[in-house]
């Protein structure tokens, strides 16, 4: 593994982050806010650390897979560390651990916050919070691939570490075009949502921040009470539509928009995904109405928003879901675990994997019936190789194991069962809000510092889909 190659490309990642830090600093400077110096200086730190390796390193044409893996994993970690600099330097509620938690939560698009008073933050810091979502949503490495004028081999190996095997299957184009497709869809959706929210009465600044947060399926809001602050059904519907779109496979979304086939409407897995969501919404709405919590209309409205928010792993809130009945809570916990589709900006275990899991189950049952038969599991008429099947099953086991261990550690810190359980799954699935003390309108401020570190690493594990981190350890171990 060539350390200089890893350092060089992490440098590019830092330079990309610096762009957004300068933009946030510009907002602060323009509004004469106290956050100008922390933002500008953090931008400078990123620029200098990013430029420094370029002085020494020579041109690198080919990146090995292990190096790509290291760039991806270490790049994410370093990005999170430099992302906390403006928070730490600004102060306020941002202690060291809080700043790290907020930064990791931002980049991994979790959207869990430690802030009690969001509305008192300077606009520059609020924009930086939204930016971390937006950068992390697409994947900081993919962003770098978009702007790097480098060789094809390099793009390909970096891309392999950032996008899962299952996700790559759905893209019908070459690796070098995928970053461009994702970029186009990502930027277009953000612009479209910003304009819509702005037209519906949100301030331009809030519309930009909420759009960046929605498309990245993050969940950071500029308001203490998230989307509940606006209490506007049209804004909620807009956010719901964009949350749903952001939870779909971007490659398929692109193909659908340009009018080619097979697109979203031909995909059986997408239809099943939508069907699951509709059943979830109806189930929760019926339960809320039955328990006399809201009128029928309000039950449907809140159910629609909360289910979509959790299934897309965004985490925006319109109501306090901690007071909801157990049936509704269990459905929401399921969607938190399931998450969105592969190839989207969302997190969670991913619906395609659950879909594939049932395909494997079906295949196994048929093999029991016909031991000599040859069967294959399929997603949208595409045969899934045994390698991907094995990866999916392994991922399921590791995912549950990680969640279980993290919950266990949290309960050891005297955190109650429901809070520990929901905080753990909400962090691993990059959703944000959980239940108990970390409900949809609460925050993570009251948790002990050690718990915040555990959850931060869980968020990173969830974002990097665990396997990448384990594989990197394997490479280091081999050395």
For binding to other proteins (CB under 8 A), which residues are involved?
A: 3-4, 7, 34, 37-38, 40-41, 44-45, 48-49, 51-53, 55-56, 58-59, 85, 88-92
Question: In the complex with other proteins, which residue's Cβ is closer, 48 or 413?
Answer: 48
Q: Is the separation of the CB atoms in 235 and 206 below 8 Å?
A: no
Give least dist CB 116 to other proteins, A.
16
Nearest residue to 200 (alpha-carbon basis) of 161, 149, 147, 240: 240
Q: Is the separation of the CB atoms in 34 and 69 below 8 Å?
A: no
Give least dist CB 52 to other proteins, A.
6
Give least dist CB 149 to other proteins, A.
14
Question: In the complex with other proteins, which residue's Cβ is closer, 56 or 261?
Answer: 56
CA distances from 97 to 88, 93, 149, 389, 455 (A): 9, 10, 37, 38, 11
- Angle, alpha carbons 79-82-83 (nearest 5°): 80
Q: Is the separation of the CB atoms in 141 and 71 below 8 Å?
A: yes
Nearest residue to 80 (alpha-carbon basis) of 62, 109, 104: 104
| Separation between Cα atoms, residue 53 and residue 68, nearest integer Å | 17
H helices of 247-316, in order, are: 250-257, 268-290, 296-311
Give least dist CB 92 to other proteins, A.
7
Question: In the complex with other proteins, which residue's Cβ is closer, 92 or 183?
Answer: 92
Give least dist CB 37 to other proteins, A.
5
Give least dist CB 190 to other proteins, A.
31
List residues bridging with 382 in a β-sheet: 379
- Angle, alpha carbons 280-283-285 (nearest 5°): 105
CA atoms within 13 A on the CB side of 28: 24
Q: Is the separation of the CB atoms in 287 and 294 below 8 Å?
A: no
Give least dist CB 56 to other proteins, A.
4
Question: In the complex with other proteins, which residue's Cβ is closer, 11 or 219?
Answer: 11
Question: In the complex with other proteins, which residue's Cβ is closer, 89 or 244?
Answer: 89
Residues in the chain: 479
Give least dist CB 462 to other proteins, A.
28
- Quick one: tokens of 203? 């301030």
E strands within 330-422?
378-379, 382-383
Give least dist CB 250 to other proteins, A.
35
Question: In the complex with other proteins, which residue's Cβ is closer, 122 or 434?
Answer: 122
H helices of 91-122, in order, are: 96-107
| Separation between Cα atoms, residue 299 and residue 287, nearest integer Å | 8
| Separation between Cα atoms, residue 44 and residue 36, nearest integer Å | 12
Look up tokens 């790049």; give the residue.
75
Question: In the complex with other proteins, which residue's Cβ is closer, 88 or 400?
Answer: 88
Question: In the complex with other proteins, which residue's Cβ is closer, 61 or 381?
Answer: 61
Give least dist CB 34 to other proteins, A.
6
Give least dist CB 144 to other proteins, A.
19
Question: In the complex with other proteins, which residue's Cβ is closer, 28 or 422?
Answer: 28
Q: Is the separation of the CB atoms in 428 and 462 below 8 Å?
A: yes
Question: In the complex with other proteins, which residue's Cβ is closer, 53 or 106?
Answer: 53
Q: Is the separation of the CB atoms in 254 and 181 below 8 Å?
A: yes
Question: In the complex with other proteins, which residue's Cβ is closer, 76 or 250?
Answer: 76
Question: In the complex with other proteins, which residue's Cβ is closer, 82 or 175?
Answer: 82
CB atoms within 10 A of CB 61: 9
For the chain, give the longest Cα–Cα distance: 74
Look up tokens 């879901």; give the residue.
321
Segment (H or E) for 358? helix 351-369
| Separation between Cα atoms, residue 479 and residue 477, nearest integer Å | 5
Give least dist CB 58 to other proteins, A.
6
Nearest residue to 218 (alpha-carbon basis) of 345, 87, 123: 345
């Amino acid at each position: 593994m060539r350390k200089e190659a890893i350092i060089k490309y992490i440098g590019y990642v830092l330079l990309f982050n610096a762009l957004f830090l300068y933009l946030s600093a510009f907002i602060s400077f323009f509004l004469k806010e106290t956050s100008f110096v922390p933002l500008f200086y953090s931008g400078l730190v990123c620029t200098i650390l990013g430029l420094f390796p370029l002085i020494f390193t020579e041109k690198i044409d080919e990146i090995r897979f292990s190096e790509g893996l290291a760039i991806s994993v270490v790049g994410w970690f370093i990005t999170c560390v430099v992302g906390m600099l403006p928070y730490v330097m600004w102060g306020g509620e941002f202690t060291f651990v809080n700043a790290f938690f907020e930064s990791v939560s931002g980049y991994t698009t979790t959207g869990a916050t430690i802030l009690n008073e969001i509305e008192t933050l300077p606009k520059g810091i609020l924009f930086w919070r939204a930016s971390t979502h937006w950068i992390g949503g697409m994947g900081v490495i993919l962003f770098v691939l978009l702007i790097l004028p480098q060789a094809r081999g390099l793009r390909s190996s970096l891309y392999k570490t950032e996008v899962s095997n299952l996700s790559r299957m759905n893209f019908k184009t070459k690796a070098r075009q995928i970053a461009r497709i994702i970029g186009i869809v990502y930027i277009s959706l953000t612009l479209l949502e910003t304009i819509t929210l702005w037209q519906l009465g949100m301030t331009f600044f809030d519309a930009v921040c909420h759009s960046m947060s929605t498309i990245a399926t993050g969940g950071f809001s500029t308001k203490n009470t998230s989307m509940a602050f606006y209490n506007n059904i049209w804004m909620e519907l807009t956010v719901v539509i964009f949350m749903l779109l952001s939870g779909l496979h971007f490659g398929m979304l692109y193909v659908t928009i340009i009018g080619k086939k097979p697109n979203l409407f031909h995909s059986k897995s997408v239809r099943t995904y939508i069907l699951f969501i509709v059943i979830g919404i109806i189930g929760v709405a019926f339960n809320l109405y039955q328990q006399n919590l809201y009128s029928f209309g309000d039950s449907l409205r809140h159910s629609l928003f909360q289910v979509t928010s959790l299934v897309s792993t965004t985490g925006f809130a319109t109501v306090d879901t901690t007071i909801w009945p157990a049936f509704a809570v269990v459905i929401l916990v399921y969607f938190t675990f399931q998450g969105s589709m592969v190839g989207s900006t969302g997190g969670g275990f991913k619906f395609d994997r659950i879909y594939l899991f049932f395909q494997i189950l079906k295949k196994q049952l048929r093999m029991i019936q016909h031991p000599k038969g040859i069967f294959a599991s399929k997603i949208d008429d595409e045969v899934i190789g045994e390698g991907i099947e094995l990866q999916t099953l392994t991922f399921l086991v590791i995912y549950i194991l990680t969640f279980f261990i993290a919950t266990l550690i949290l309960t050891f810190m005297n955190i109650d069962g429901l809070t520990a359980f929901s905080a753990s799954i909400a962090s691993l699935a990059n959703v944000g809000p959980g239940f108990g003390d970390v409900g949809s309108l609460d925050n993570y401020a009251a948790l002990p510092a050690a718990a915040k570190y555990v959850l931060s690493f869980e968020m990173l594990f969830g974002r990097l889909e665990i396997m990448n981190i384990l594989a990197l350890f394997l490479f280091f171990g081999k050395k």
